[in-house]
Structure 1
Amino acid sequence: MKIHLFFFILLFGVTILPARKRFPHYGSVDMRRECAKGNGRCKTECHISEVRIAYCIRPGSLCCLQKYR
């Protein structure tokens, strides 16, 4: 069990920590604001005439954009 803990800590130190130092802004993106900038709306379901592009806050709400004809 100690060997598993050792490898987990090693893996965490090699992958997560350098990425956090290199991209500090990655975890602080406000997807609701980004959706509104792109002229989208956060809803639970997208209409047929809309395109789902991303999740807003949590996997239950989607960013929906109007399709252009």
Structure 2
Amino acid sequence: MNFITKAATEGDNNSAQFHLGDIYYNGKCKIPKDENEGIKWLRKAALRNNKKAIKLLEKLGIEILG
């Protein structure tokens, strides 16, 4: 989890941002579910053109720019 968090924050890695958002939004990897934190990271990934993040936000009915 530390590797993903570091890549998402320091590396500005849109794939890591997507995975971090997915982990928080769905409560995976023994991390408590936190939809707001998940959406924050999914939006960051989507703004960096991560197709999976864009597709998931659209599926959830959540605007990329919130």
Alignment TM class, shorter chain as reference: under 0.3
Which has more radius of gyration?
Answer: 1
Give the TM-score normalised by the residue count of structure 1. 0.24
Give the TM-score normalised by the residue count of structure 2. 0.24
